Structure 1
Amino acid sequence: MFRMDSNNTHSIADYLAQLLKDRKQLAAFPSVFVHVERLLDEEIGKVRSNLFQINGGAKEPMNLPEPSGDTVSLSEKVYVPVKEHPDFNFVGRILGPRGMTAKQLEQETCCKIMVRGKGSMRDKTKEDQNRGKPNWEHLNDELHVLITVEDTENRAKVKLQRATDEIRKLLVPSVGNDGEDELKKRQLMELAIINGTYRDSSSRGLVMPQ
């Protein structure tokens, strides 16, 4: 396996592009290299997590206690600060291209993450038409992220807290020295990788193990 420099976004993206290319080639031999497929999928997951580190901070693994008690359903609403930042595209930042950012957080936290409330739908005309109808009550509320989880209570609380913390980080507008949203740049980078249009920037940070 390659080793990457986690401080270099382009190196991480280059590495992810290579991994996805390997995964595509490996798909030509289904159920032949089972352990290699598993290891490759695990590595892809780790690299994607590095690529989407919020605010440049590494994420500590989620330590879950042993299940205790009955399964419960917990939920939390995190309101989006649209009044403080009316021109910022929070919905796009939370969801990411093709919903990839939200899906990544769902995988990491084992929670369901949904954007709800005013301004949560792309089609504003349809949103206005649905407002006030049964099952669309959330459109009367301010824009928010609804986080839900099912597990034993002791585990559900840990998962819900992690998801809430990660969403709150996404709700803090962050720009780099060039005035651009760093996370958005990474989101578009991964979209280009998946579409096969990303070009390797360099081979720096990609070295073979000794």
Structure 2
Amino acid sequence: MCFVQEEKLKDKPGYEHLNEPLHVLVEAEFPEDIMNARLDHAVTILESLLKPVDESFDNYKKQQLRELALLNGTLREESPSMSSPSMSPSMSPFNNAGMKRAKTGR
């Protein structure tokens, strides 16, 4: 959701969370040393995902848009720039043979 939309929705019922600072709740039942190591690793990953990235290098966004197009049936033939190993369709959770799509009644 873009910032302008967030500002418009902030005071409406159901959007109270937009007034809160960004946060993550983590619950775990591990020994403290293991939990701290895993939390440190998670913080590193989350911080890297929250840093602005030049769109030409944003592989997460490219993969999400590709998967959305696949789900919508609007996926076009891949361009050479999208055929890198990091964009492999086999990495997508939607291509997992064990996952089933929800029935939509259509």
**TM-score normalised to the size of structure 1?**
0.28
Choose between structure 1 and 2: higher strand proportion: 1
Choose between structure 1 and 2: higher helix proportion: 2
**TM-score normalised to the size of structure 2?**
0.47
Q: Could you say which structure has the greater relative contact order, defined with CA pairs below 8 angstroms and 6 or more residues apart?
A: 1
